Amino acid sequence: MIPFQLGFRNLIGILLPGAVLALVIFTCLDILFPGMGQAIARETGNNAGSFVVGFLLTAYILGSVIRLHSSDTVDRFSASLVRVPDPFEGMEGSTEQHLNDLLVGVTETEPSGKSDNEYFKELLERIRDRRRHDAKVVNRGEDSAANDLIKWAWKNDEFPYPVWELMKLRLYHPGDVFQFFAPYMRCFATGHRRNKEFFNYCKAVIYEAHEGKRHALAEEVQSAEAYVRFFAGVFWALLLSAGTLVVASAAEFILRERATAVGMILVAFFMLGVNYMIVIHGRFRLSRLKEVDTVFDAFFLVQRHPYQCPYCSAKLSSKPEANEKS
């Protein structure tokens, strides 16, 4: 196996979080039940391979269980740490309703010839007009509310962030990219897992491209996904390990060594500090947004060929068989 190859990275993404949790559990058991570690060492002293295999199997099982926890929880927690004013303050409706209004508004509002701030002003006014009858809108500075709009979408949209992605495609990508995704608008609608199913479909199309052969776009998508899953796994492993240490330290404090208990608590706080660094300032969400950006960009690049790419379609049109089909 070549180091850093995809399969190796995925294996490490499962084994490392599981190994951290397994090591903490075994250490706590050894502290609470003195002599347990020595007994295991005596049993496996003549066959260290059995101990290594047992530890790796335990780490793999724990890592697989950790991976069952969705990254969504870590994602939402990371986004919740970012403070963003609400441009819909004073308007009735849930966050999901506002996201759906924003999704419709993005498709109806043309950004050509407008600055970003002008576009957001028009978009916000369009959404407010749709809900004007619901409640009295709080009078806020229009510039401030418009600037808050895209930040609010960034924070409140849910994976795979259909509203945020369409706003980004509308404003910061060439026009043909947004036009390519326009027929998929219903798939981008929020709620009922519809956007997740479309996201999975996009990945399947990318993997199947080039007749299923290995290619750069598929590797980039898989690499981004492995990166996100790895840090989600590390977050859960450290959180569970910190909880285990706190419980074990409480028992140790009552039964025996207070100094050992304090040391375990300090290690638990260190683990929680590492977790905080993973999610602070929306850092985990930024990593997951990069994964989603990579998938949709790769889906466009794969699906636009050969008939929607000007260069390739020109080459096809020059072939007699292509002309016969047309």
Q: Convert the pLDDT of each residue in 43-93 to its tens digit.
A: 666 666 777 888 889 999 999 999 887 788 999 999 999 988 888 877 777
Choose between 174 and 257: higher pLDDT: 174
Average pLDDT, the chain: 81
For residue 231, pLDDT beyond 90: yes
Tens digits of residue pLDDT in 124-173: 888 777 665 444 444 455 566 667 788 888 999 888 898 888 888 888 88
For residue 62, the model assigns a pLDDT of 92
Q: How far is CA 109 from CA 33, 104, 106, 118, 296, in A?
A: 67, 9, 5, 11, 21
For residue 203, the model assigns a pLDDT of 92
For residue 266, the model assigns a pLDDT of 93
Assess contact for 102 and 163: CB atoms under 8 A: yes
SS3 call for 115: coil
For residue 252, pLDDT beyond 80: yes
pLDDT cut 90: percent of the chain above it: 28
**Pure H helices in 212-282:** 216-255, 258-279
Choose between 277 and 308: higher pLDDT: 277
- The pairs formed by 120-129 with CB atoms below 8 angstroms and a separation of 24 or more are 120/146, 120/147, 120/149, 120/150, 121/146, 123/149, 124/87, 124/149, 127/88, 127/98, 127/101, 127/102, 128/91
Residue 37 confidence class, pLDDT cut points 50, 70, 90:
low
For residue 40, the model assigns a pLDDT of 66
Least confident interval from 130-144, 170-184, 284-298, 302-316: 130-144
For residue 311, the model assigns a pLDDT of 56
DSSP state of 183: G
For residue 312, pLDDT beyond 70: no
For residue 323, the model assigns a pLDDT of 43
Choose between 191 and 181: higher pLDDT: 181
For residue 139, the model assigns a pLDDT of 47
Q: Which of 19-28, 109-118, 142-151, 185-194 has the highest mean pLDDT?
A: 19-28
For residue 8, pLDDT beyond 50: yes
